[in-house]
């Protein structure tokens, strides 16, 4: 007679839940503390460290009502940077930080790195297949208006490495103000790119 085996019961997976306003505030507060300890000394750099930016990107994505719908089951994250220099360094740092995230807004993800060619080429890459998010590295500030115009009407969340990128056309950007990281949100760009932020997020950011 074969021995009787007891079936193994696997624990149930916890359903993903959208972060609350308290969770977002805690994340920003933690980023502020770490930002003071790790402030970057170089002038040609981001004011909010890349590791903190990636953590905040995860929280921002969770407050975008359209993020999961446009991801088609898997979030495609595209990091764009210029060739060489600080732009490439920041781009590769962000790509690595995003790859290390277990998920984003409750979804599996893929991370791609692209060297800057033109706004039209970026728009073409976004049209290729569903793209949840495009990160614009340092050095693309002067190209941001063209990027915003090229991506208008497409469904994608653009995140800039600096506040200036948000002021010039990205949906979101990051700056350090009085020692604290601040989210900059460009509602005009967000609306043009069909990004739908929840009111809980908008109460905590600087609109530009």
Helices 21-37, 50-62: axis angle to 10 degrees equals 170
Tokens of 21: 């306003």
Q: Angle, to 10 degrees, between the axis of helix 144-151 and the axis of helix 119-128?
A: 40
Instruction: Domain ranges for the chain, please list them.
Output: 21-207
How far is residue 57's CA from residue 124's CA, in Å, rounded to a whole number? 23
The CATH code of the domain at 21-207 is 3.40.50.2300
Q: What are phi and psi of 102, to 5 degrees?
A: -65, -30
Per-residue pLDDT of the chain (208 residues; tens, 9 = 90+): 545 544 454 445 445 555 665 656 555 545 444 443 333 334 458 999 999 999 999 999 999 999 999 998 999 999 999 999 999 999 999 999 999 999 999 999 999 999 999 999 999 999 999 999 999 999 999 999 999 999 999 999 999 999 999 999 999 999 999 889 999 999 999 999 999 999 999 888 999 9
Tokens of 158: 């653009």
Q: How many CA atoms lie within 13 A of 208 on its CB side?
A: 23
Gap between the Cα atoms of 82 and 143, Å rounded: 11
Write the CB contacts of 164 (distance below 8 Å, at least 6 apart in sequence).
141, 144, 173
183 bridge partner residues: 174
């Amino acid at each position: 007679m074969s021995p009787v085996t007891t079936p193994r019961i696997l624990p149930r997976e916890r359903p993903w839940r959208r972060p609350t306003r308290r969770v977002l505030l805690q994340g920003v507060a933690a980023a502020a503390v770490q930002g003071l300890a790790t402030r970057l000394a170089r002038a040609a750099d981001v004011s909010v460290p890349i590791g903190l930016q990636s953590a905040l990107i995860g929280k921002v994505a969770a407050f975008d009502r359209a993020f999961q719908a446009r991801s088609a089951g898997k979030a495609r994250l595209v990091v764009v940077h210029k060739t060489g220099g600080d732009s490439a360094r920041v781009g590769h740092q962000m790509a690595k930080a995003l790859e290390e995230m277990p998920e984003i807004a409750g979804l599996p993800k893929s991370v791609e790195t692209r060297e800057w060619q033109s706004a039209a080429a970026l728009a073409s890459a976004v049209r290729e297949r569903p793209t949840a998010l495009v990160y614009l590295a340092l050095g693309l500030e002067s190209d941001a208006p063209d990027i915003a115009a090229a991506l208008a009407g497409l469904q994608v969340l653009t995140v800039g490495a600096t506040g200036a990128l948000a002021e010039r056309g990205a949906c979101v950007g990051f700056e350090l103000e009085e020692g604290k990281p601040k989210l900059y949100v460009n509602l005009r760009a967000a609306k043009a790119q069909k990004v739908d932020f929840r009111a809980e997020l908008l109460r905590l950011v600087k609109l530009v």
